[in-house]
Structures are given as structure tokens and as C-alpha cells.
Structure 1
């Protein structure tokens, strides 16, 4: 009702909003459409075809890069979510936490610094301590910068959750672990899931840090895609991008569904 009133009050608002979304999503639509183009010249449409999806799936280098990205993202998401959950519980639910705001700022520090700075600092650190394994370097670095992305939804969920049920559980002589497992975690799970999905997408999407830390055999998907762009635009690249868009939409939909379900259950 309020949005409709604003559109009527400002006649150009609806058109401006439409133009904004067209500007934002038109390039994605072009990529999706031309991923079904049979012509090898990406910008010239001839006929509908799925050959570039088949070529992408049969590309062993691409599959290896995807496997590396999924492995790193899965491990980093797990580590980052556990750290973020522990930090959120300590900061939000801790009774005698000193420097609460400072602690929260430290957790969110990777969000405040340019990624290139973090990438260079991480590269120097690994050089000083002698870490050579490319996969290990990627997992540690991704876990570090994904933690604040997982922390924010969990913190928001904890802040919006009443203490009544946890206090009732304690009154019924449940220990802290039982209260967390049976009361707190189910209530904040939508936030945990959203944070984990956000961390996973950030890890899968990262280029700067991965480009600096990757070594032979640990090429991630963004680095491989960048190598394709440097050699010229290919219809296969459109197919890869379309599959990534579809995967992102599915994860975002799942996260929104969990958040909506959690809000409904909590209400």
C-alpha cells in the first residue's frame, strides 16, 4: 500500500525503478540467451543449441577448477560458520564480555579492509611461515574473509531472539549444551543457514585472493573463467556463467525460504 502510494505521489518513480532493474539485469539476460546460441561468434545469433553446455561439462580443465572451488568453498564455509556462530554466541549472549563492540569490530574487520590488502597480507604471512600447499592456503584465506559474512546474519538472528525460551529451559534444569541444541540452535538456524550460504557464495566468487594464493593444480573457477576471457569471448563462457547464475539463484531462494520459515515459526 505504501509503495503504491509513493509511485502515485512521484510519477517518474515507477519508470526510474524499471530502468534501473533493466540496466542491472539486462547483461545477465543477454548472457543467458546467447548461451543457447549455436554460433561460435558469441554476439551473432543463428539458432538454438545446447552444444556449449555439453562442451562446458566435457571440459576437464573446467571441471577440475569447479572441483577445486567447491572443495575450498565447502571447507571454508564450514569453518567460517562455526567461527561466526561461536563469536556471535560469545558477543551477543555473553554476560561478562568486555570490549563487546571492539570484539564485534575485529570479527567484521575483513569487511572494512580492501580485499587486495588482505590478499597481500595473507600472501606475506604464508611466505613467512612457509606454507606451500596451495589448497591449504586457499582454505585458510577463504575461511578468514568469509567469517564476517556468516557472522552478520547469525548476529542479527540472535539479537532478534527473545531470551524467554532459553531462560525457561534453564528453569527446567537443562544444561547449556542441551539448551543450545534443543532451543537456541533451532531458532537461529535460518540465520546460520543464510550466513553459511552467503559465505559459500563469497568463497565461490572470490578472484583476487585466490589469484594470489593459488598454485599449480589449485586453479579455482573464477581464475579459470578469467583465463578464458583473456583468450577471447567464447560461447562456452556464456554457458558457464548461466550455470553459475542458476546455482546462485537456487542458493538465494533456499536462504530466503529458510529465513521466511524461521520468521514465521518465531512469530
Structure 2
């Protein structure tokens, strides 16, 4: 009886938590199909705001800028994070190690307002020397995003580096492989799950950033979060609901396929383990039979 009550209480708590998290998103999706301009007043179902969304060139331009910056940021952050993690794990000790770790992780703890203001002052100063920084366009936003995303990728990849068995690398070197070949043939495939996770994390953080980008972006470099925030400040628009619905749909599709791939991989690993156990059992029975003979 007590176990049943405990189970019911857990189910109720879980249901309340899921409702609290996902009910606002569900209401947003429902009202994206509302014909009325009032986002809280339902009139009738319509795809009007989706047509308006796809015909809005300003939103399309903002989406293109955000995707471009996010992809470039993810690529650069993964490279920098991999190199930093390799140094922190493989190089045992070096002069300035504590300072290096501090500088790598500082963007994670600094307030975004401070980071954005500091980068703005830097780009204003550099704009007087290098023309690329004068208009504070995509290039400047990319550098700013790489600055804080690299700290997170370093932490993710470093945790995977620590789990690697260094004896595999030593065996590859004993067989004649050089350091570069060992990295690309042995180390990189082993840390690839962390690389993918770091890439997706950087991509998401870059797409989602608002505070730092607001300091850096020029008038012709408005990203999607900046556009949504400025639109919401003028008043809620059903067009933003339609945009949010499409984003939720895309994320849900990618999440579903990632989950499906993980399930298939787990089933394949379980099948391989069962086959290996069966083969080992048959081998043991064969050896026992031969020993009796």
C-alpha cells in the first residue's frame, strides 16, 4: 500500500513538472494557427501567420545570419576546445598552467554584460585600425561567440580526454605511427562523441545568445534572438508564434532521430554482447568436451 502511494505521488509530481515545462510551449504552438492578431484571443484556425512569416525578408535575413554565425562558431570552438583539452590533459605540467586554466574558463563565470561591454570596447578600438571591425558585422559576432563557447567545449572535450586509455596511443606509437597520425587515427575517433556534443552545445549557445550579441552587432547584423526580442518588446505577434513553432518542430525532429540512433546503437551493442557470450559459452563447452576425451 505504501509503495502504491509513493508511486502515485511520483507520477503526480512528474506530471506537474512536465505540465509546467511544456504547457506554455503547447499553447504557443496552438495559437500560432490562430487567425486573429491578438495572440490570446482565438477566432479560427488558419495558416495566415505562416504565410506572413515566410514572406518576411527581415526574419529570413536574421535566420541566415544566426545560422551562419552559429555554424562558424561551433566549428571554431570545437577546434580550440580540442587543442586546449589536449594541452590540459596530455601535457602534465607547464609554466603558467593555472593562468591558462583560468583564462580558458573565465568566460563561463563572467557576467554576459561584462563580456559584451569588454568586447564592444575592443572592437571599437580595433575598428580604427582594421576595417572589418568598424561595422561590427558577422565577423565580429563570430569572434565574440567563439570567445565564450570555447570555454564550454573545452570542459566537455576535456572530460572525455581524461577517460582515454593512454596505452592505446603508446601501442600505436610502438607500431610506427607518428604523433599526428595517432591523434587523427586513435584519439580523434575515441573522443568523437564529445566532439559532436561540444559542436551541438556551441551551435545552440550561439543561436540563443542575446546579451553579448546586442553589444557587438551593428545595424546590418541583426540576429534572430535580437529580432524576436525587439518584436516582443513592441507587443506579442502571432508571427513570432509561428517562428517558434517551426523551431520547436525542427529541434523535435533532430531529437527524435538522435534518440532513434541511440536506441539502435544500444540494441546492436546488446546483440553483439549476446553473440559474444554465446560464442564464449560454446567455446567453453567445446574445450570441456575435448578435455574429457
Among 82, 90, 94, the alignment partner of 2:91 is: 94
Runs of 4+ in 1 over 4 A off after TM superposition: 5-11, 98-102, 250-262
Structure 1 residue runs of 5 or longer lacking an equivalent are: none
What's the TM-score once normalised by structure 2's chain length?
A: 0.80
Instruction: Please tell me whether the aligned partners of residues 90 and 97 of structure 1 are also in contact (alpha carbons under 8 angstroms).
Output: no
- Which stretch shifts more, 197-206 or 44-53? 44-53
Q: Partner of 1:34 in structure 2? A: 31
CA distance, structure 2, for counterparts of residue 152 and residue 95 of structure 1: 17
Q: Partner of 2:117 in structure 1? A: 120
Following TM superposition, by how much is the alpha carbon of 1:99 offset from its aligned partner in structure 2, in angstroms? 5.3
Note the 1:162-181 alignment, pairs <5 A: 162-181=165-184
Q: Partner of 1:200 in structure 2? A: 203
Following TM superposition, by how much is the alpha carbon of 1:259 offset from its aligned partner in structure 2, in angstroms? 7.7
CA deviation vs aligned residue, 1:19-77 (integer Å, no higher than 9, x gap) = 12211221111111211222222112233322222221211000011111111111111
CA distance, structure 2, for counterparts of residue 164 and residue 247 of structure 1: 42
Among 104, 110, 134, the alignment partner of 1:132 is: 134
Structure 2 residue runs of 5 or longer lacking an equivalent are: 128-132, 274-293
Following TM superposition, by how much is the alpha carbon of 1:83 offset from its aligned partner in structure 2, in angstroms? 0.5
Task: Give the SS at the match of 2:42.
Answer: coil
Q: Partner of 2:221 in structure 1? A: 218
Larger Cα-atom Rg: 2
Specify whether residues 201 and 184 from structure 1 end up closer, same or farther in structure 2 by C-alpha distance, changes over 3 A only.
same
Following TM superposition, by how much is the alpha carbon of 1:153 offset from its aligned partner in structure 2, in angstroms? 2.0
Instruction: Please tell me whether the aligned partners of residues 191 and 259 of structure 1 are also in contact (alpha carbons under 8 angstroms).
Output: no
CA distance, structure 2, for counterparts of residue 165 and residue 228 of structure 1: 54
Specify whether residues 248 and 146 from structure 1 end up closer, same or farther in structure 2 by C-alpha distance, changes over 3 A only.
farther
Q: Partner of 1:161 in structure 2? A: 164
Following TM superposition, by how much is the alpha carbon of 1:253 offset from its aligned partner in structure 2, in angstroms? 5.4
Among 26, 35, 58, the alignment partner of 1:61 is: 58
Instruction: Please tell me whether the aligned partners of residues 37 and 46 of structure 1 are also in contact (alpha carbons under 8 angstroms).
Output: yes
- What is the number of residues matched between the two proteins? 261
Specify whether residues 251 and 101 from structure 1 end up closer, same or farther in structure 2 by C-alpha distance, changes over 3 A only.
farther
